[in-house]
Structures are given as C-alpha cells and as structure tokens.
Chain A
Amino acid sequence: MSRISIKIDGTPVEVAPGTTILEACLSTGIAVPTLCHLRDVATNASCGVCVVEVKGGRSLARACVTKVIPNMDVQTASPRVMAARKMAVELLLANHPTDCLSCSRNGSCELQSMAERLNVRKVRFPSTRKAVAKDETSPSIIRDNNKCILCGRCVAVCKEMQSVSAIDVAGRGLRTHIGTFMDRGLKHSTCTNCGQCTVVCPTAAIVEKDETDAVFKALQDPSKVVVVQTAPAIRSSIGEAMGMETGALVTGKMVAALRKLGFDRVFDTQFSADLTILEEGTELLERLTKGGTLPMITSCSPGWISFIETFYPKLLAHLSSCKSPQQMFGALAKSYYAEKTGIDPANMVVVSIMPCTAKKFEAQRPEMQSAWKWWKQKGQKGVAPYFDVDYALTTRELARMIKNVGIDFSRLEEQTFDDPLGQSTGAATIFGTTGGVMEAAVRTAYEVATGKPLPNIELTAVRGLEGIKHAELDVGGTRLKVAVAHTLKNARILLDDIAAGKSEYAFIEVMTCPGGCIGGGGQPILPDRKKREARAHSLYVEDRNMPVRKSHENPAIAALYKEFLEKPLSHISHELLHTHYAHRQM
C-alpha cells in the first residue's frame, strides 16, 4: 500500500492512508493533547482540545478525527493552536464545579490534568450552568452531571460495547446532558450496572457508589467479625491500582494488606469459584443426560444476569441456576462457616472485593438472604433478615482504603489466605478472565464424566480477547460444542441465535465486561487492550503456579461436601447455592 507523505511541524513524515493526524503525530513522538477521545472507545470530537493548524485550512482541524491527505502541512503547537486549546479547556472549566480537592477523582481526573498540562492558571469566563441533582438511584453507580464534560464515552460503551443504551445524550444547547429515559435515573433504566461507563469517564461524572466508610466502620466495631473474600481478578489489578506495573500479580501482598486493614478472616472467592464448577458442571451433565434446557449459560456475571432478565426474559431457562461465586461464598460464610466456628452469623459482616460494580447490585437482590433463611429453618427465631454479602467493594475502593490507612503496598511481605474458605485451585484463578469459567468447567467435567485424566489441561481455544470463541470438545465419545462471549453485545449475538433456534452449543460462558472480570467496571480506570492482556496473562501465570489446578481436586471443597453439602445439587446446596431469576423488561 502506498504511503502518504505529510509534514508535521516541518518534519517530513510518511504514514499509511486512513491515518488520523493524531496517530500520525504520535508516530513521530508528538502527543497531541486529547480529552474526549479514547482509543477503541469513542471519538466524538466534542472537546476541541486536540486542534492543530493545517496549512491552507481556514479553521483549526481536530486531530482525532481528521484523516491525513497527501502533502498536508500540520502545525501542532503554533500560537493559534495553543490559544485555542487553552480556551477549550477554560470554557469547560467555566462550567465545571471547583471542588477538586474533595472530588473522588482528585488526582485521576483527565480534565484536571489537562488544565495542568496546558498551564491554565485562570478561567476568564463566568459559569453559565445551573447545578443539577445527582442520579443516586442505582445501588452501583452514581452519576453527577455537574461534572460531565459531554465527551460521550459513557454513551459509546453503553451502546456500542454493551448494546444496552441505558443512557444517551438528551436535550439540546445549554441543556444538553447525559440522561436515562425521562431522566428517571439508572435504577429505572435498562442499566445492567456493569460500570464500563465508570472506567471510561474522564471526570467524576460517573463513579462507583463508594462504600468504604461503611466497611471501615464495620472493621472498627469490636462486636463484628468481618470476613473478606477477593475475586480472582483482584490479584492482578490491585497492584496496578497501588502504583505497581500493569498486571502485577500480587496475591500474597493483597492478603497481607487486607489483614493490615483489620479483616478478621481473609478468604478467597476462588474457593466458591471451585464450588461453582462442581455445582454448575453437575447441572450441565444433568441437563445433557435428562434433556434439560440447552445450551446452558453461565451465571457468574451479574451485569449479564440483569441483561438477560431485561432484554431476553424468555431465555431465562438457559441460565444455570448457580449463584455467582460471590453469593455462594456469602451464603456459606454465614451458614457452614458460622456454624463450624460458632460465630453468630448476624454479627458477621461479609465484604467482597470485586472488579465489578454490578456485584453491589447483586449483593442487594432481595433473594440473596439464603443464610438467614437457612438459620430460620433450623429454628432460629427473632433475628432480623440479613444479606449473605454485606458490602461489595470495587478494586478502586480497596485501593482507596489501603492508601487511606497508609499501607506501603509494594513493600508488604506476602501472606496466605485463611482456611478453609481461602483454599482454591488454578481453575478458580482463571475465572477472572474470558474463557476461564469454560476452561475450568472442562477440566472438571471431562474427568467426572470419563473418569480419566484430561490429556491437555490448558484449553487454549477459549483463551484470548476475541469477542466470541468456540470450541468442540470430546468428552468420552460425546462431542460438545461450547462458546465463550465477553461484552454484552457479543452475548446478544449468541442469544439471538438461541431465540431463533439456531444455536448449536451445549454450554456457553458469558462475561459482561471486555476481557472478562480483568476488564471489569470496578477495575482501575482508563482501560485498554494491553492492560487487559497483562492482567489476564498474570492470571494464567498464577494458574500454572498453583499446586492444584482442577476444582474437583480442591481438598477444602471435598471437605465441604463431606461435612455439609453432601453432594452437588443436593437439597441444601439448592437452598444456599442456587437461585432464580426475574423478568425486568422495561
């Protein structure tokens, strides 16, 4: 392909046709400042910060959307360009609150850092915007339109990546704002609480609902036994959130930090991930042999659950009845573990650390009070209902807590999880990335169904960041077709096939977020593919380093069945570990 010759700041440059000025500049080491633009997410050219001067052009060009043409002569830092950029930021600041010092994005705000980068020292324009109320209807996500700069990234992820479109640009002129239908708030919209908008928002206009104060309060209350569980994905992202390199694998330091914070027991959601494999694998084998609804679809990802409940309620029978690992853990902590140790479950506070904002919603689903019901059935009386999981914190909230108390994270000595709910396998670790639940399920299902060891433990066909992955498995002579999808837009494709009667799969894994939980809505902000790859890679490294890599070989799970649950899909496991779903059609 012939290349195009252009000049950038007087230097000749050759680039491929179709390149934007922004990309061409980057290739020569000039980082044109951008604010609304986010690669692979949104390019709305709304902020006007990336302007450059093109010789012969009447107005300045927006580098993010303008494609190069032969002999283009670009000036990236002329006086006119510098003045226009500064003014674009000044105009945004004129309509922006000035509470930076107490803002939750203080230090991580792109508008703030752009003002600093462009040396904006005064704002010449008076504010014209009226204060509007925050949208605090959602249990997961808070929207504050006062801080919105209308970059459109949230609308893009909600529409393009997730095909949910809970939010869109509403109104016109000065009243333009990001809104839900009738501005009723996220809770009353099709929002799945996935939180992808919170990781792409450049300011504090969309943030997770912060529950760190409530958790600190529980930790400081001597009458409470505070138990923490950590999702698989956290071990490859909390280090990053604490300033270490992207994807840093910090399982031992994370455990140490949680102990320092004062958690009484440091357990692992991976324990209940292993348990999920046994329950879900058995459910799949039952559906296959007894003619149940197929394909069966995984149910670990709460954004995905809200999505199918909202958009495809007729297909709910395809969902596994298994609760997510977070909820299985909470139900067991307050029943099995409480009984075993004599801790009063009403005094136990279960906190989970999740890469996810939808987990906050999931924890508060009214049906998630299984432990309380179980104790009630055992004859306990007069105890007010409590949830199985009390607080679900995101990776970002945990990082905030660690910084808050002054723990020097990177220097912590590695520690190990408490027993027994801290024991897990490599199969559970890879739950944190797309394809991981499928791979973990195959490791167990194959051996349970055939009684023989799996020839190759690593199912590479379902690894990687491709949107939809397929594999065909030979399980003791039976051929099984399986599929893996991440992001809800990809899930929708598989669901449409099921609805049309065209699906050829027996088992489907769906994760809500790009890359699975490692790209979750509760993860460190500003995601990109490289970050997701690094985090996923670390989980596969951890898997290889684990002494046990198959869920059914987890000794603590074997003990749990022996002492308490009897067998997968037993009566008691149905009470504590399985659930039902609701129609949420708008």
Chain B
Amino acid sequence: MKKMPNKVDVPSVKSVISKHEGKAGSLLSILEELQENDVHKHLSEEILMQVAQKAGIPLSQVYSVATFYSFFNLKPQGKHTIVVCRGTACHTRGSRALLLESAAQLGFTDFVEEDESALTTPDRKFTLRTVACFGQCALAPVVAVDGTIHSHVTPGKLLKLIQKIQKEESR
C-alpha cells in the first residue's frame, strides 16, 4: 500500500473518534469534524484509513459513506468556494451561463459540465462546483460564494465577485 505523508497527527483522529464513538451515525460526525479540521477541507485517503482502523469500521464502508454525501470532499478544496445551483428553477433562469462564465474566469479551459462537477484551480485558491438545488428557487438563479448565497445573479455580477476575490488573493 502506498504510504502517504502524515499530515494530521494520529492523536487528533483518535480523539475525534472517541468524542463521537458509540452514538448513532457517529461515522458522519467523525468525518465531518475531520474534514473541518483539514487545511484543504477534504478527507485524504490517509485520514479515511485511520478512521477505518481506529473506529473498527471496514474501509469500504468508510468510503461508501464518504462518497454518498456531497458534503464530503475526497479532493483538496480551494481556499474559496463557488457553488452554482443547477436545479431546474436556476437552470431556466440562466445558471448554465453562470457556470460557464465562472469556469472561464477561473481558467478551466475545455470545461465540460458533468453531473456534480467540482474543479479546483492548480493554486488551490478556488473550487468551482455545482449543486442540484439549494432550495432557494424563488431567488433563482443563486450562487454561493464562500458560504454566502447571492440571489438573482447575473454573469456580470458573478464575474465581479470572482474578480474581487482574485484581486485580494494576488496582493
């Protein structure tokens, strides 16, 4: 098996597990907290292996849970996250253009939309992803930038938001 660099100390995984262990659905809470603790907000292979080993849960089951919930990221995430809603209401009000414009602005050339796209820039500054529905259909189209939901977004508005963050980051 490939050895991965040990980014997080073993005790912290252990303590997170012991905090939640025994409660119903503890694996979810364990994974949630570990992802939150991670610099790149993701669950590395090494972390998942430690969880399986220390919590006595089969590796395949840990993987099953981590891949079922869209909340969990198995790839390192960018510092800033842009989530474009691709639900029906947002779609009819132009969310596809929002997605394509942001992809272009962030430098993802040859971007092709797949279901649940998630892309991170090589400098790990931005992650662009889609979501099936935020449940904010009355405000369509909506885009979440670093957790803040922006409503009635136009490509122009969105580009300005992204450019602003890009400018701050390049300082």
Q: Which residues of B contact A188 (CB under 8 A)?
A: 1
A168 and B45 contacting across the interface, CB-CB below 8 Å: no
Which residues of chain A from 147 to 172 have any CB-CB distance to chain B below 8 Å in the complex? 159, 164-172
Query: A165 touches which one: B61, B68, B115 (CB < 8 A)?
Result: B61
Within the complex, the shortest CB–CB distance from B86 to chain A, in Å, comes to: 13
- Bound complex: CA A335 to CA B70 (Å): 58
Query: A168 touches which one: B58, B70, B116 (CB < 8 A)?
Result: B58
Query: B59 touches which one: A169, A174, A190 (CB < 8 A)?
Result: A190
- Bound complex: CA A166 to CA B70 (Å): 23
Query: B115 touches which one: A168, A174, A179 (CB < 8 A)?
Result: A174
A425 at the interface (CB under 8 A from B): no
B64 at the interface (CB under 8 A from A): yes
- Bound complex: CA A374 to CA B148 (Å): 72
Which residues of chain B from 81 to 103 have any CB-CB distance to chain A below 8 Å in the complex? none
Knowing A188-B1, A586-B1, A586-B49, say if A165 contacts B67 (CB, 8 Å): no
- Bound complex: CA A179 to CA B52 (Å): 16
- Bound complex: CA A307 to CA B116 (Å): 37
Q: CB-nearest residue of chain A relative to B59?
A: A181
- Bound complex: CA A189 to CA B69 (Å): 22
B162 at the interface (CB under 8 A from A): no
A182 at the interface (CB under 8 A from B): yes
A586 and B59 contacting across the interface, CB-CB below 8 Å: yes
- Bound complex: CA A170 to CA B62 (Å): 10
Q: Which residues of A contact B115 (CB under 8 A)?
A: 173-175
B64 and A170 contacting across the interface, CB-CB below 8 Å: yes
B15 at the interface (CB under 8 A from A): no
Contact with B along A550-586 (1 / 0, CB 8 A): 0000000000000000000000000000000000001
Within the complex, the shortest CB–CB distance from A193 to chain B, in Å, comes to: 16
A180 and B60 contacting across the interface, CB-CB below 8 Å: yes
- Bound complex: CA A171 to CA B48 (Å): 15
Q: Which residues of A contact B48 (CB under 8 A)?
A: 181-182
Which residues of chain B from 44 to 77 have any CB-CB distance to chain A below 8 Å in the complex? 45, 48-49, 52-53, 58-64, 67-70
Q: Which residues of B contact A166 (CB under 8 A)?
A: 60
- Bound complex: CA A344 to CA B28 (Å): 60
Query: B61 touches which one: A168, A172, A189 (CB < 8 A)?
Result: A168
B1 and A172 contacting across the interface, CB-CB below 8 Å: no
A170 and B58 contacting across the interface, CB-CB below 8 Å: no
- Bound complex: CA A174 to CA B114 (Å): 11
Q: Which residues of B contact A168 (CB under 8 A)?
A: 58, 60-61, 63-64
B1 and A165 contacting across the interface, CB-CB below 8 Å: no
How many chain-A residues does the 8 Å CB contact rule pick out? Answer: 22
A172 and B60 contacting across the interface, CB-CB below 8 Å: no
B60 and A181 contacting across the interface, CB-CB below 8 Å: yes
- Bound complex: CA A562 to CA B126 (Å): 76
Q: Which residues of B contact A165 (CB under 8 A)?
A: 58-61
Knowing A182-B45, A188-B1, say if A172 contacts B59 (CB, 8 Å): no
B68 and A181 contacting across the interface, CB-CB below 8 Å: no
Within the complex, the shortest CB–CB distance from B120 to chain A, in Å, comes to: 18
Q: CB-nearest residue of chain B relative to A130?
A: B114
A189 and B59 contacting across the interface, CB-CB below 8 Å: yes
Query: B63 touches which one: A164, A172, A179 (CB < 8 A)?
Result: A179
A181 and B67 contacting across the interface, CB-CB below 8 Å: no
Q: Which residues of A contact B53 (CB under 8 A)?
A: 586
Q: CB-nearest residue of chain B relative to A174?
A: B115
- Bound complex: CA A179 to CA B66 (Å): 12
- Bound complex: CA A188 to CA B2 (Å): 10
Q: CB-nearest residue of chain B relative to A173?
A: B115
B70 and A167 contacting across the interface, CB-CB below 8 Å: no
- Bound complex: CA A205 to CA B61 (Å): 20
Contact with A along B1-14 (1 / 0, CB 8 A): 10000000000000
Within the complex, the shortest CB–CB distance from B133 to chain A, in Å, comes to: 13
- Bound complex: CA A174 to CA B132 (Å): 13
Within the complex, the shortest CB–CB distance from A453 to chain B, in Å, comes to: 49
A170 and B67 contacting across the interface, CB-CB below 8 Å: yes
Q: Which residues of B contact A181 (CB under 8 A)?
A: 48-49, 52, 59-60, 62-63
Q: Which residues of A contact B52 (CB under 8 A)?
A: 181, 586
- Bound complex: CA A173 to CA B67 (Å): 11
B70 and A172 contacting across the interface, CB-CB below 8 Å: yes
- Bound complex: CA A71 to CA B96 (Å): 53
Q: Which residues of A contact B67 (CB under 8 A)?
A: 170-172, 179
- Bound complex: CA A166 to CA B63 (Å): 11
Within the complex, the shortest CB–CB distance from B3 to chain A, in Å, comes to: 13
Q: Which residues of B contact A180 (CB under 8 A)?
A: 59-60, 63
A171 and B68 contacting across the interface, CB-CB below 8 Å: yes
Q: CB-nearest residue of chain A relative to B69?
A: A172
- Bound complex: CA A172 to CA B63 (Å): 12
Within the complex, the shortest CB–CB distance from A563 to chain B, in Å, comes to: 45
Which residues of chain B from 113 to 171 have any CB-CB distance to chain A below 8 Å in the complex? 115-116
Which residues of chain A from 176 to 214 have any CB-CB distance to chain B below 8 Å in the complex? 179-183, 188-190
- Bound complex: CA A175 to CA B48 (Å): 20
- Bound complex: CA A188 to CA B59 (Å): 11
Q: Which residues of A contact B60 (CB under 8 A)?
A: 165-168, 170, 179-181, 189-190
- Bound complex: CA A181 to CA B50 (Å): 13
Query: A190 touches which one: B45, B58, B69 (CB < 8 A)?
Result: B58
Within the complex, the shortest CB–CB distance from A228 to chain B, in Å, comes to: 37
Within the complex, the shortest CB–CB distance from B43 to chain A, in Å, comes to: 11
Q: Which residues of A contact B58 (CB under 8 A)?
A: 159, 164-165, 168, 190
- Bound complex: CA A175 to CA B116 (Å): 10
Q: Which residues of B contact A189 (CB under 8 A)?
A: 59-60
Within the complex, the shortest CB–CB distance from A178 to chain B, in Å, comes to: 9
Within the complex, the shortest CB–CB distance from A68 to chain B, in Å, comes to: 31
B1 and A169 contacting across the interface, CB-CB below 8 Å: no
A166-B60, A175-B116, A179-B63 given. 9 additional CB < 8 A pairs?
A168-B58, A168-B61, A168-B63, A168-B64, A170-B68, A179-B60, A180-B59, A181-B59, A586-B49
8 interchain pairs, CB-CB under 8 A: A170-B64, A175-B115, A179-B64, A181-B63, A183-B63, A189-B59, A190-B58, A190-B60
Which A residues fall within an 8 A CB radius of B?
A: 159, 164-175, 179-183, 188-190, 586
5 closest Cβ pairs, A-B complex: A165-B58, A181-B59, A168-B60, A168-B64, A170-B67
